Structure 1
Amino acid sequence: MENKNVHLSHLVFTQAKKYGDRPAMYFRDDNTKTWLPITWNESARQVRLIGKALISIDVKEGDRVGIFSQNMYEVIIADFANFAAKAASVPLYATSTAPQIEYIVNDAEIEYLFVGEQYQYDVAMEVQKTSKFIKKLIVIDPKVDLKGNKNAIRYSDLLLVGEKANNDAEIDRRLAKTSEDDLMNIIYTSGTTGTPKGVMLHQSNFTEAIRIHEERLAITTDNDTSMASLPLTHVFERTWDYFCLGHGVRVYINRSPAEIQTTILEVRPTLMCAVPRYWEKVYAAINAKIESTPKLMQLFFKWAISIGRKRNLNYKRFGKRTPPDLGTRYKFFAKPLFKMVHKAAGLENCKYFPCAGARLSDEINEFMHAIGINVCYGYGLTESTATVSCFFPENRDYVIGSIGRIMPNLQVKISEEGEILLKGKTITAGYYKRPDANKEAFTSDGWFKTGDAGYIDMDNNLYITDRIKDLFKTAGGKYIAPQLLEGIICDDKFVEQAAAIGNERKYVTMLIVPAFDILEPYAKEKGIKYESRADLIQNPEIVALYEDVIKNRTKELAKYEQIKKFTLLVKPFTMEQGHLTNTLKLKRKVINELFSKEIAAMYTED
């Protein structure tokens, strides 16, 4: 890192001295659809003022201050202001419900809570009414209706409190006391099983995380631009943005995940971390576009992709010289076509795009590299301060099927049971106030148990087979990896979501949510008439379509892994209905309970 071992409490101030009035971040004015800059000097000014204000309203050293908001530049300011006041930030997902917020507020004993828009304010206000902890809500969006709440203050007014506060000596004293032992974040896991646990991340974790990313991602410079597309609550985006800001990368704050397809066309960043779902949508969109062209053009696209696959995967990634005839075909035929595709998706400036958070199919991973999009695929956890392994950003030596090379100085081993175990300076000290969970999460000799099954190859590349807790056993005694099955089926353009069923059952079945944006035009083209989506998914031709999808997608699997029956669903799995965690992982127990009738019908004897 350019500013080696800079404590997060000092990062903004250090960068302001270096970059001054150069933009640090950009936010979008939705009225004018323009991106407005926040300079390093202005960022440092606001961090100091908010830090002073927090101290003046009685935030003490070691307090936990919550941030419940969608992505906004003020969220990053609040985060660093908490650090300046020597408090820990507790980020909460913007989509959280009142019971979820109440649990975290009580567990972390949060007295001061930053909130973003009206939804977050209304939820927080509901919790505040009965909370013995919340003293003040700090409201970021100026359009929020405070509804006469005397225990709420606007962000703009908090800046004024900081301006008037006569406590410069106190904030300077706190800044001077920073150490590697400071608790910086408590990030609550999404809780696919049981209640959420607060992962404690100290400065020492971030110091090491930034150091090893500096080594692995050495091609990153202050000429780069990054789009913050994932929630800042997510450890992936959070750690990535700390890394970017520490390198002077200009960070564009994407406020709503639903807007990313629009905003990426406006920003066209060189860097952006994303979850596999983003690339699944890009893949589907590109293929839909190809299929909409005349047959001759489709053949030309496929030819170009085959050239790109040979050149990029067989030669470039291994540093081999490309044969002259292949190089010519790539330069004059494939590359110009790929550039058009990149530009249409806002990806023409792509340097490397980190991707993690779930399984990215080999098919999509290989396709993106074939057309020249450098997806830097990896794996990590909240408990490991994000990255455990990832591809090299130089687009070399990656192995399709793996989740990348293990990060420098991180110890990884596989237990006798096949579980991935971790040890190193990026690994959490444990869960907040949960000695019981700590005892369960760590081995007796200090290795953190990831809960993921996998293996390591001779070149130190890591592979995951599945979540150990997600593995289920059929009545025949065969173990099934549901995420693998779901990934295979979800790779198809006609499938939006899927949930594999089969624990202690005779055979495997699946709940499938169709990709209606693809299915409905298909039905129209085929002359299939229907009155509603419920009517559409019962149509024999549509059922036959999905039978073919499953048959073709699973033909290489073992017989006991084959999906014998399936049910198409009208409505998607959502966080609001409790089907998904905040990081969009399936809550399998909930799904089995809520869809018990549909599941039972698939196991009725013929």
Structure 2
Amino acid sequence: MEINRLFDLIAYQISIYDKEVALARKVNGSWNKYSSRQLKEITDNFSLAFLAAGISKGKKVAIISDNREEWNFVDLALQQIGAISVPMYPTITSEDYRYIFDHAEVEMIFVGNQEIYEKAKPVAKDRKIYSFDKLEGVAFWEDFMKTGEHQDLAQLEQSKDSVDGSDLFTIIYTSGTTGRPKGVMLTHKNVLSNVIGVSKFILVDKGTSRVLSFLPLCHIYERTGFFCCLYIGSSVYYAESLEKIGENLKEVKPHLFNTVPRLLEKIFDKIVSKGYELTGIKKSLFFWALNLGLRYEPNVDQGAWYNWQLKMANKLIFSKWREALGGEVIQINSGASALQPRLARVFWAAGIKICEGYGLTETSPVVSASMGTHEAIKIGYVGKLIEDVSVKIAEDGEILVKGPNVMQGYYKQEELTAEVLQNGWFHTGDIGELEGEYLKITDRKKEMFKTSGGKYVAPQVIENKIKESALIDQIMVVGENRNFPAALIVPSEEGLREYCRYKGFPFTELGEMIVKPEIIEKFQREIDDLNKYFGKWEQIKQFKLISNAWGIETGELTPTMKLKRKVIHSKYENEIEAFYSS
């Protein structure tokens, strides 16, 4: 059948796969499962309920919730009547909600739980709010949906026929690391072109594979991933929470999931900390295997001796890593920020295929992707361009993108749109290079800075290298218009605890440890050792150890776990000034 609009994927899945489990989420200890046909029935009833409530083509509805099946029901139902969804992160502020409600001209709001409702209610004005959890005094989503059960399906078919692939289906407000968030306008065609292009890079079996979902659906990365699952017939299981991902991996045994580098770093650090707890021959074998993995090249034959050792390492050590991920993972897609090459090497060595890609909200999101085969992967690169997407590198190194996936513009912000969309090319703000078919990202154009000596510094490259230290969990490099780069560093508590145990130092608590001279000296040696990888003007000359980890809830990270540099800079203004006042 022909697929012109995103909601056509429901009928397509039924016609090809007719899944018993299209969607599932664990509630109170058991999995709520929905077949392809149940997904269609609920979505149709929801669409009719919206029409009966006066929500028609072009009108806006907000969705604010963690991942759950109701999120998809609302999203797909709005698509079928030509209405426009406005998804938002549950973690943003009430003031952000107010701005987006007003700027996007939202007419109705769906919230996930009591906490989100409490933030949305004071700024909702006279907009009707529905909740996915049953909340006292709040209209329940299911009651609303049921108002569509006895409506005229012919009316829905007319509404569906009026929707074209070029119609706007969503406005996604970026996380707003600088100033007010921008509303990215995406059409059905934008995202559908991405779904079809990305699906060619996915190696799981069509119709029978399982996917665990835990990245926010309000981000286009996971949302396009959901549509891709509809297209290839994968069953989507929503993780209970970030804290329970480990349990859910073992239950679901997924073949595929999307993630971000920060979570892979945490998985790796947890694995290594378990290795430090081993003793004797078990500990020796663990670090022997780890060191083999760090030397791995997916498409390079390193000889019979290395291959034999790696085979033994997989049998003795790496098999346990795979079991922790459910034992059946075929492919893990990593995006949103740069992945440390050493992590890619060690996971590939362990038979865990991390496929790095690149994209932005404005590109629906994928520009390039990696395929999970040894022949196709190239560590340090973000894969090959997907179908129908073109890239060229500007004179200043900026990546420019053209294709059917590029957004229509920023909602009500014509000047900002004109800045980034020029002659059909979207200016990404990222710096990179093309090597044959492979794309490489080197830094964010807006994050690069000049020292007072006029030298350019790319902080992300430095940060990724320094995070290779087992003692360093988070880092932000500073130094714009200063005479040298410096760094704010959040130590790895587990790594520091292990170092202290090895050295015979008593570990009390992180805030006390980071001011001890012997600990500061150790970090200085780590920085000195890693500085040799950079030019003189790029090397970290001073650093400050910070005891509180940066997080989403505390405001230092975006929901996709990127550093909010301006927020961190403002929060630690005194510490940064101290670098340059001595």
SS in 1 for 2:181: coil
Aligned counterparts of 2:10 and 2:538: Cα–Cα separation in 1: 52
SS in 2 for 1:111: strand
Please tell me the residue identity of whatever aligns with 1:411. Answer: S
Aligned counterparts of 1:292 and 1:208: Cα–Cα separation in 2: 48
1:138 aligns with 2:130: yes
Deviations 1:383-408 (A, max 9, x none): 11111112112342222121111222
CA contact (8 A) 2:443 2:461 kept: yes
Query: Alpha-carbon deviation of 1:20?
Result: 4.5
1:203 aligns with 2:183: no
Query: Alpha-carbon deviation of 1:533?
Result: 3.4
1:285 aligns with 2:263: no
Please tell me the residue identity of whatever aligns with 1:155. Answer: W
In 2 relative to 1, CA 62–258 (structure 1 residues): closer, same or farther, beyond 3 Å?
same
CA contact (8 A) 1:53 1:158 kept: yes
CA contact (8 A) 2:67 2:216 kept: yes
Q: Which residue of 2 aligns with 1:16?
A: 14
Q: Which residue of 1 aligns with 2:74?
A: 78
Aligned counterparts of 1:550 and 1:330: Cα–Cα separation in 2: 31
The answer to which of 553-562 and 515-524 deviates more is 515-524
In 2 relative to 1, CA 500–135 (structure 1 residues): closer, same or farther, beyond 3 Å?
same
1:160 aligns with 2:152: no
In 2 relative to 1, CA 483–306 (structure 1 residues): closer, same or farther, beyond 3 Å?
closer
- Aligned residues: CA RMSD: 2.2
Query: Alpha-carbon deviation of 1:325?
Result: 5.8
CA contact (8 A) 1:83 1:184 kept: yes
SS in 2 for 1:506: coil
Query: Alpha-carbon deviation of 1:220?
Result: 4.5
Q: Which residue of 1 aligns with 2:483?
A: 506
CA contact (8 A) 2:294 2:342 kept: no
Query: Alpha-carbon deviation of 1:491?
Result: 2.7
Give 1:297-308 correspondences, 5 Å limit. Answer: 297-305=282-290
Give 1:95-110 correspondences, 5 Å limit. Answer: 95-110=91-106
In 2 relative to 1, CA 333–529 (structure 1 residues): closer, same or farther, beyond 3 Å?
closer
The answer to which of 487-496 and 71-80 deviates more is 487-496
Aligned counterparts of 2:292 and 2:514: Cα–Cα separation in 1: 38
Q: Which residue of 1 aligns with 2:409?
A: 430
CA contact (8 A) 1:308 1:372 kept: no
2:336 to 357, 371, 384: 357
Please tell me the residue identity of whatever aligns with 2:473. Answer: E
Q: Which residue of 2 aligns with 1:317?
A: 299
1:114 to 90, 110, 116: 110
Q: Which residue of 2 aligns with 1:487?
A: 464
Aligned counterparts of 1:324 and 1:532: Cα–Cα separation in 2: 47
Aligned counterparts of 2:266 and 2:169: Cα–Cα separation in 1: 34
Query: Alpha-carbon deviation of 1:17?
Result: 4.8
Deviations 1:528-587 (A, max 9, x none): 457653322111122122212212222221121111111111222233443233332222
Q: Which residue of 1 aligns with 2:317?
A: 337
Please tell me the residue identity of whatever aligns with 1:122. Answer: E
Query: Alpha-carbon deviation of 1:301?
Result: 3.3
1:449 to 416, 427, 447: 427
Query: Alpha-carbon deviation of 1:441?
Result: 0.7
Q: TM-score, normalised by structure 2?
A: 0.94
Give 1:261-272 correspondences, 5 Å limit. Answer: 261-272=246-257
The answer to which of 91-100 and 523-532 deviates more is 523-532
Deviations 1:291-319 (A, max 9, x none): 32235334433444566677x62xx636x
Q: Which residue of 2 aligns with 1:188?
A: 173
SS in 2 for 1:477: coil
CA contact (8 A) 2:552 2:561 kept: yes
Aligned counterparts of 2:94 and 2:58: Cα–Cα separation in 1: 25
2:235 to 250, 253, 272: 250
CA contact (8 A) 2:433 2:439 kept: yes
CA contact (8 A) 1:68 1:91 kept: yes
Aligned counterparts of 1:553 and 1:104: Cα–Cα separation in 2: 43
In 2 relative to 1, CA 396–126 (structure 1 residues): closer, same or farther, beyond 3 Å?
farther
Q: Which residue of 1 aligns with 2:209?
A: 224
Aligned counterparts of 2:313 and 2:546: Cα–Cα separation in 1: 43
SS in 1 for 2:258: coil
Please tell me the residue identity of whatever aligns with 1:591. Answer: I
Query: Alpha-carbon deviation of 1:331?
Result: 4.0
SS in 1 for 2:184: strand
Q: Which residue of 2 aligns with 1:149?
A: none
In 2 relative to 1, CA 403–102 (structure 1 residues): closer, same or farther, beyond 3 Å?
same
1:26 aligns with 2:33: no
CA contact (8 A) 1:420 1:450 kept: yes
Q: Which residue of 2 aligns with 1:62?
A: 58
Aligned counterparts of 1:217 and 1:581: Cα–Cα separation in 2: 27
Aligned counterparts of 1:14 and 1:82: Cα–Cα separation in 2: 18
Query: Alpha-carbon deviation of 1:254?
Result: 1.6
CA contact (8 A) 2:81 2:163 kept: no
The answer to which of 378-387 and 152-161 deviates more is 152-161
1:53 aligns with 2:42: no
Aligned counterparts of 2:570 and 2:307: Cα–Cα separation in 1: 55
CA contact (8 A) 1:140 1:154 kept: yes
1:406 aligns with 2:385: yes
Aligned counterparts of 2:572 and 2:309: Cα–Cα separation in 1: 52
SS in 1 for 2:106: coil
Gaps of 5+ in 1: 147-151
Please tell me the residue identity of whatever aligns with 1:7. Answer: R
Please tell me the residue identity of whatever aligns with 1:317. Answer: N
Please tell me the residue identity of whatever aligns with 2:6. Answer: L
The answer to which of 44-53 and 574-583 deviates more is 574-583
Aligned counterparts of 2:312 and 2:481: Cα–Cα separation in 1: 56
CA contact (8 A) 1:554 1:562 kept: yes
Aligned counterparts of 1:308 and 1:196: Cα–Cα separation in 2: 41
CA contact (8 A) 2:204 2:256 kept: no
Query: Alpha-carbon deviation of 1:245?
Result: 1.5
In 2 relative to 1, CA 341–452 (structure 1 residues): closer, same or farther, beyond 3 Å?
same
2:349 to 338, 361, 370: 370
Please tell me the residue identity of whatever aligns with 1:393. Answer: G
What is the aligned length?
582
In 2 relative to 1, CA 323–417 (structure 1 residues): closer, same or farther, beyond 3 Å?
closer
Aligned counterparts of 2:153 and 2:410: Cα–Cα separation in 1: 34
CA contact (8 A) 2:4 2:165 kept: no
The answer to which of 65-74 and 393-402 deviates more is 393-402
CA contact (8 A) 2:212 2:238 kept: yes
Q: Which residue of 2 aligns with 1:558?
A: 535
Q: Which residue of 1 aligns with 2:158?
A: 173
Q: Which residue of 1 aligns with 2:512?
A: 535
CA contact (8 A) 1:418 1:455 kept: yes
CA contact (8 A) 1:219 1:393 kept: no
CA contact (8 A) 1:271 1:351 kept: yes
CA contact (8 A) 1:219 1:394 kept: no
In 2 relative to 1, CA 20–453 (structure 1 residues): closer, same or farther, beyond 3 Å?
closer
SS in 2 for 1:242: helix
The answer to which of 17-26 and 240-249 deviates more is 17-26
Aligned counterparts of 1:243 and 1:274: Cα–Cα separation in 2: 15
In 2 relative to 1, CA 527–269 (structure 1 residues): closer, same or farther, beyond 3 Å?
same
SS in 2 for 1:425: coil
Gaps of 5+ in 2: none
Please tell me the residue identity of whatever aligns with 1:136. Answer: K
CA contact (8 A) 1:212 1:407 kept: yes
